[in-house]
Structure 1
């Protein structure tokens, strides 16, 4: 009985920390699931839900429900803190995010070193495409309106939600960083903070974003599995490119505020928070290494 209780408790706790990771640019909820040993179940559950096996469907729904409860609690607490910190201490927090992203790149390269050894010279095109996509989005300086939505902005938010959740499920890639590049990070965390405070003024934004997330979940999981299984070198190259481009997205983060500020410069960059970001990712890597060593 005790083992069963701890097993059930593990999933909400994992969901909680996945939400904390998902809310921060530079860290992926998929990485947390990977470290916790539930990544395979997490990815497989979505396939089981639309599958024909009723027993697997029921088991997967319960798994995602327990994970989801922890995720909602973690996200509620995270956005409450992040929204005020991001606006009041933008340069310190952005420096922290830079450290998270910078440390994540060598981590994913190390994890996929055998895959990257198979890369040929032309695979650099996928790296450049990934980096260029994020940099290009950052240059658009798009900021979504939270009070009213027209067709163009609704479509933009929908696509942003679909792409962000696709990134969130991959270890090493941060969906929040993509939201930052889209100019949607601040509007979404502000809207979520309002929603958890029973202020529904941003409901339209969150609803369209949520529909995009659901579409991304059910459309991307099979696609991601297919690409990683059949075209892994090209896919990993694009992933590393996305992460490299994310550095520019974070630098430009202050320009996406409701009251835009200058991008990070040498005078506003905080080396202390940058090092803290690196330390957090390093701790993740050491935890994973320790867990793998114990299993072997």
Structure 2
């Protein structure tokens, strides 16, 4: 019974990460971090991609269950989001803002022993906050210029490959999500639409999605090692940077409507939905409460 429960838990962990990864805001890495299996996830990914045969065999069962849950969760989210994004962009963005806002104090509470007394590291938070607006200002795709993923070319494939490396690095890092970075680069909605189209048997998008997928694999192999090193040697600085990226991601979410194929105005106080923002915050807070209860129960047994 305990084994079955563990298998189901790992599948649900993958689903939770997929839901976070499919939307701009917090990353799947943030969810893994808040639910207490982040370092196991990063270590397993590193062992599977760069380790020995023994390490790969040991890491595979956990990653497989996590992966199955992730694919299932992401597929459902894509089918829903590809339709809703164009109709309810402000409502969905309000939920994302709530998720992001509540993640900041949760990360601080979880990592306070590594942050206390090291306030000079706030410079890394400032850097993280500045990165997102800077990328959006410098990015020529922002503003709805759009990317047609049915028009396969070597240049587009290279752009997607590099973008995937950057996005997956954020995906596994507690902080800004890979989806937010794709939003910044003008690729989030084209990719969500492309995946949805392939799921509806339109295979014109497949070549460019393969290029993006290869970039994700390369990015995961690189970032897993780098993140493990940063958390082992520079945990405080890394946490402060993650917090900055989280705060900075709010800027990208507010401007999310401007990246639609038919651009809409950025979110304003009139289009912001307070109730849905609270709902987003409540969802992440509930996950944190469940994690604390599970930890307390484990200590008692």
TM-score normalised by the chain length of structure 1: 0.90
Where do 1:277-288 residues align within 5 Å?
A: 277-288=280-291
Out of 192-201 and 255-264, give the one that drifted further.
192-201
User: Partner of 1:29 in structure 2?
Assistant: 28
TM-score normalised by the chain length of structure 2: 0.88
What per-residue deviation string (whole Å, max 9, x for no partner) do you get for residues 88-120 of structure 1?
A: 111111111111111111221222222222424
Residues 37 and 105 from structure 1, CA distance in 2 versus in 1: closer, same or farther, beyond 3 angstroms? closer
User: Partner of 2:215 in structure 1?
Assistant: 212
Aligned pair count reads 293
Name which of 217, 229, 234 aligns with 2:232: 229
Q: Distance in 1 between matches of 2:59 and 2:132?
A: 33
Out of 75-84 and 200-209, give the one that drifted further.
200-209
Q: Distance in 2 between matches of 1:249 and 1:35?
A: 22
Q: Distance in 2 between matches of 1:235 and 1:186?
A: 29
What per-residue deviation string (whole Å, max 9, x for no partner) do you get for residues 24-52 of structure 1?
A: 22233234434555434322222322322
| Runs of at least 5 residues in structure 2 that lack an aligned partner in the other structure | none
Q: Distance in 2 between matches of 1:260 and 1:162?
A: 27
User: Partner of 2:133 in structure 1?
Assistant: 135
Give the secondary-structure state (helix, strand or coil) at the position aligned to 2:245: helix
Residues 71 and 266 from structure 1, CA distance in 2 versus in 1: closer, same or farther, beyond 3 angstroms? same
Q: Distance in 2 between matches of 1:262 and 1:213?
A: 31
Instruction: Find out whether 1:257 has 2:260 as its counterpart.
Output: yes
Out of 97-106 and 163-172, give the one that drifted further.
163-172
Where do 1:97-176 residues align within 5 Å?
A: 97-121=96-120, 123-139=121-137, 140=139, 142=141, 143-176=146-179
Q: Distance in 1 between matches of 2:165 and 2:203?
A: 22
Residues 118 and 187 from structure 1, CA distance in 2 versus in 1: closer, same or farther, beyond 3 angstroms? farther
Residues 124 and 172 from structure 1, CA distance in 2 versus in 1: closer, same or farther, beyond 3 angstroms? closer
Residues 127 and 155 from structure 1, CA distance in 2 versus in 1: closer, same or farther, beyond 3 angstroms? farther
Query: RMSD value over aligned CA atoms?
Result: 2.1
Q: Distance in 1 between matches of 2:134 and 2:147?
A: 17
Deviation at 1:161, TM superposition (A): 1.4
Q: Distance in 1 between matches of 2:130 and 2:162?
A: 18
Residues 120 and 191 from structure 1, CA distance in 2 versus in 1: closer, same or farther, beyond 3 angstroms? same
State whether residues 97 and 280 of structure 2, in contact with CA within 8 Å, keep that contact through their aligned partners in structure 1: yes
Give the secondary-structure state (helix, strand or coil) at the position aligned to 1:198: coil
Give the secondary-structure state (helix, strand or coil) at the position aligned to 2:68: helix
What per-residue deviation string (whole Å, max 9, x for no partner) do you get for residues 149-206 of structure 1?
A: 5555434322321122222223444222222222221111111111222212222331
Out of 217-226 and 166-175, give the one that drifted further.
166-175
User: Partner of 1:189 in structure 2?
Assistant: 192
What per-residue deviation string (whole Å, max 9, x for no partner) do you get for residues 61-97 of structure 1?
A: 2332232222211111110001111111111111111
Residues 7 and 282 from structure 1, CA distance in 2 versus in 1: closer, same or farther, beyond 3 angstroms? closer
Q: Distance in 1 between matches of 2:234 and 2:40?
A: 22
What per-residue deviation string (whole Å, max 9, x for no partner) do you get for residues 117-166 of structure 1?
A: 24243x33322222222112223351433222555543432232112222
Instruction: Find out whether 1:57 has 2:51 as its counterpart.
Output: no
